[in-house]
Amino acid sequence: MNIILLDTNDFTGNSKVSIRDRRAEHIINVLHAKSGQCLKVGMINGNIRHGTCISTNKNCVEIEVDNFNILPPPPLPVTLIVAMQRPKTMKKIIQSATAMGVKKIFIIETWKVEKSYWTSPLLTQEKLEEQLRLGLEQSGDTIMPQITIKKRFKPFVEDELPTITAGSLGLVAHPDSTMKCPHQIDGQITVAVGPEGGFTEYEINKMSDIGLKPVTLGIRTLRSEFAVTALLAKLT
């Protein structure tokens, strides 16, 4: 946890915060914060601020927050479209993409997505937000990414993807492509990543039809969470 994220309802006064949950636990048990100690705090969807630990009684931490505003780190200019994965893997992808600065994530259905994954409790608003917060806390960011779930591939690609990719370089990760994933792209990027078994030829063709270029990370197959990190790292 490289930043303590605060909501307006954590405030008990104009500048005084009182928290009791895993953030308090972290401040007490990991940071071993004492009264007077500086803490990096951030307003969810707002700026980064300096906090001063006032007290750590039992499970409650009180913080005085100053008004000096520091901008959060800039976002990554990438929209990530990712097929639904095994929930454990999906969590890692959401956390790591968020930590890297992605602000728009679409989780989509594709032919090879295991149907049972869609019943995962991860896909509730609350649980997704938990993963986003973990990613923000890791990277010292405050701006919540937006996750959109799209359960029908064809209408998503035909009706929505053209608008999403407009003005950006559109790419789709495809091991069979002969074009290597490019490096250090200037400007906006949209990148699509398939499920464990990859996209089908039909799906690749549908996305190519609206301008996404199939690119490969090489002949080595990486686990999805590392493939997403590798793609984002190469592209930016």
Site of interaction with a copy of itself (CB under 8 A) = 2, 73, 96, 99-101, 138-141, 183-184, 217-223, 225-226, 229-234
The Cα 41–Cα 7 span in angstroms is: 11
- The residue among 63 and 99 lying less far from a copy of itself, judged by its C-beta, is 99
Q: How far is the CB of 186 from a copy of itself (least distance, A)?
A: 13
Give the ranges where the chain is alpha helix by DSSP (H): 22-29, 87-100, 125-139, 153-155, 161-165, 201-209, 224-235
Task: Please state the closest distance from residue 154 (CB atom) to a copy of itself, in A.
Answer: 29
Cα 11 to chain center, whole Å?
26
Query: Can you point out the beta strands (E) in 44-85?
Result: 48-57, 60-65, 78-83
Residue with tokens 């559109």: 170
CA–centroid distance for 77 within its chain: 13
Neighbours of 90 (CB within 10 A): 22
In the complex, least distance from residue 74 CB atom to a copy of itself, rounded to whole angstroms: 9
Our CB check for a copy of itself shows the closer of 4 and 157 to be 4
- The answer to whether 147 touches 135, Cβ cutoff 8 Å, is no
Which of 50/234 has CB closer to a copy of itself? Answer: 234
Looking at the Cβ atoms of 123 and 222, the one nearer to a copy of itself is: 222
How far apart are CB 140 and a copy of itself at their closest, in Å? Answer: 6
CB of 75 to a copy of itself, least distance (A): 10
Least distance in angstroms from the C-beta of 196 to a copy of itself: 11
Single out the residue of 181, 159, 178 nearest to residue 170, CA to CA: 181
Which residues, listed in sequence order, are joined to residue 17 by a DSSP beta bridge?
A: 11, 63
Residue number, 52 or 138, with CB nearest to a copy of itself: 138
The span from the CA of 194 to the CA of 186, in Å, is: 24
Query: In the block, which residue shows the tokens 């990712």?
Result: 82
Q: Which is nearer to a copy of itself, 114 or 158 (CB)?
A: 114
